[in-house]
Amino acid sequence: MARTHEHNHSNTGVPGLTFSWKRAIGLSRLETDISRKTGIPFTRSGRQRKIGEIVTHMFGTLFMLGLLALGVEVALHPAWIATIQSMLHKA
């Protein structure tokens, strides 16, 4: 026989009615305003997601800079082209 779980998730004892002291003193609104102005979320998962995006963009930027540096090196030193060609012919 299946059990039924009737949980009243209300902290006031009245179903559908909840009370938040953070909302009552305006802390939730302040956090929202700060988050919107700075672009940094207040939640842990939001901050982790934001840091992940920053790191991902950083690696992408470093990769593109590496390719650019390699291209400049090859363009400025034509001997590299001959070296790369000889490596490809050996393989």
Q: What value does the mean pLDDT of the chain take?
A: 85
What would the 3-class secondary structure string for the chain be?
CCCCCCCCCCCCCCCCCCCCHHHHHCHHHHHHHHHHHHCCCCCHHHHHHHHHHHHHHHHHHHHHHHHHHHHHHHHHCCHHHHHHHHHHHHC
Q: Does residue 11 lie within any of the structural domains? A: no
Split into its structural domains, the chain has a count of: 1
Q: Does residue 10 lie within any of the structural domains? A: no
Q: Does residue 72 lie within any of the structural domains? A: yes
Q: Does residue 42 lie within any of the structural domains? A: yes
Domain that holds residue 32: 21-90
The per-residue pLDDT for range 15-35, each reduced to its tens digit, is 777 888 888 888 889 999 999
